[in-house]
Amino acid sequence: MADETVPVEVKHTQLFIGGRFVSSISGRTFPTYDPRSGDIITYISEGDQEDVDSAVKVAREAFDKGPWPRMTGYERGRLLFKLADLLEQHSDEIVALEALDNGKPVVIAQMVHVLTIKYLRSQAGWADKIAGQTLKVDGPFHAFTLLEPIGVVGQILPWNFPTYMFITKLSCALTCGNTVVVKPAEQTPLSTLFCAHLVAEAGIPAGVVNVVPGYGPTAGAAIGRHMEIDKLVFTGSTEVGRLLMEASAKSNLKPLTLELGGKSPLIIFDDADVDEAVAVADGGIFFNMGQVCTAGSRVYVQEGVYDEFLEKAVKRAQQKVIGDPFKAGVNHGPQVDQAQFDNILHYIALGKEQGANLVTGGKRSGVKGMFVEPTIFADVKDDMSIARDEIFGPVMSVMKFKTLEEVLERANGTIYGLAAGVMTKNIDLANRVTRALKAGTVWVNTYNVLDPAVPFGGYKMSGFGRENGLRGLQEYMQTKSVITRLVLPSWL
């Protein structure tokens, strides 16, 4: 199944602090693995508390004394546009590193990289347009607001879309004039470190962007509790989100933006185009091998089209081309690592034990690497583990429903609220469902469509705060109110 050829040179394996690559203070390293085979690609410098302290000190000085927050918005935007140009020029290398370290098929990595560059350019365009408001107040006073950067921002990244997550979070923070300390996921540090050298090449001042690879309980925890970090942004599990909230409470009460777990429903009504619904459902759960926070893992199908949908969904899933992500035609690669691979197979076993009907997939593909077949369970009950828990893998749970009222109650019956989808030709029905679903994003007759202009975030235990567009930029700014007493002439 796997081809162990390394198709790209790994150039950067150290921490990036103060505009240059440096070894960790301890000298320790950790391995990053090729999910095609489980073999070690290379060793990465392992940051911990001391390295985070060093990075924060540099970022603090760059914010308090450096030029970045004092530049005009136009100048910051110009440098961010230059970074976007460099990302575009080095697309092939970045895509290859992403596929190598993450297992993402090249065709998917290319598509996501295009969106990444679009996102950076979109946010950079706001740099010279951020402004406060003039306010009308009672009495002889003039009032206005100033929007100011928060300061040093800690950003802890997930492993499923390494470059996209790095650049999208970076673009918001830097557009507003902040400096950052970033911890990439220990599973996928390679593309983030490569992009860090492009930050320096773009002319962004030293110390504005700092990257400290390492493990969550050490480097991540150090960022969470650091007294000199003014804001924390995290995408990942709800469990880690809780730990970071606790760290904030015990340190300096730094505000958080959290994008956490999901168990998103896709509701397919009888009047939907079944072929279209199958295609949407397939992409909703099997895109990126199911390793997507918004994955439509709970598929509710109205009883009139249930059997037809299931038959066609199984056929489509079985047509997936599983294999080496660098090979042409492959659209389903390996899971990111051994732990994720084992967790997915554990949930598949639970699904069978608890009485769900396994209709396709359900096992390892090949004998080497982290490949899991696209898997569909039918006749799933809402209290089964595969319907309740976030699996973060290619496992679709298909459930039958009768009425609108029933499916809304079941769809909302989860601790999560990140995303949802609805398939119907009835606009009135679509409007009713979109308003009733407790989710931060609801797609109608499509799924997983993202755009830099559209706010993104969750309800309930899927987190809080929003990313993307002007709403996302507001998470990285302080609002200062200024009120001045006016001395009015006597004739007024």
Residue 200: other Cβ atoms inside 10 A: 17
Residue 5 lies in a domain: no
Query: Residue 2 has what pLDDT?
Result: 46
Q: Single out the residue of 430, 457, 434, 356 nearest to residue 397, CA to CA.
A: 356
Q: Are both 275 and 231 inside the same structural domain?
A: no
Task: Give every residue of the chain whose pLDDT is below 50, as ranges.
Answer: 1-3
Q: Are both 97 and 200 inside the same structural domain?
A: yes
Using DSSP's 3-state secondary structure scheme, residue 212 falls into coil
Q: Are both 116 and 226 inside the same structural domain?
A: yes
Q: Are both 438 and 470 inside the same structural domain?
A: no
Residue 486 lies in a domain: no
CATH number, domain of 60, equals 3.40.605.10
Residue 106 lies in a domain: yes
Query: Residue 5 has what pLDDT?
Result: 65
Q: Are both 362 and 215 inside the same structural domain?
A: no
Q: Are both 170 and 231 inside the same structural domain?
A: yes
Residue 489 lies in a domain: no
Domain count, the chain: 2
Q: Are both 277 and 256 inside the same structural domain?
A: no
Q: Are both 45 and 145 inside the same structural domain?
A: yes
Q: What is the pTM of this model?
A: 0.95
Q: Are both 86 and 29 inside the same structural domain?
A: yes
Query: Residue 492 has what pLDDT?
Result: 61
Residue 9 lies in a domain: no
Q: Are both 98 and 164 inside the same structural domain?
A: yes
User: Residue for token digits 């598509």?
Assistant: 111
Query: Residue 489 has what pLDDT?
Result: 76
Residue 492 lies in a domain: no
Q: Are both 218 and 289 inside the same structural domain?
A: no
Query: Residue 230 has what pLDDT?
Result: 98
Q: Are both 256 and 390 inside the same structural domain?
A: no
Q: Single out the residue of 29, 26, 32 nearest to residue 6, CA to CA.
A: 32
Domain enclosing residue 296, as ranges: 265-444
Burial of 315 by CB count in 10 Å (0-12 exposed, 13-18 middle, 19+ buried)?
exposed
Residue 86 lies in a domain: yes
CATH number, domain of 357, equals 3.40.309.10
Calculate helix-pair angle for 106-124, 91-102, nearest 10 degrees.
Answer: 120
Catalytic residue numbers, as ranges: 259
Query: Residue 1 has what pLDDT?
Result: 47
Residue 450 lies in a domain: no
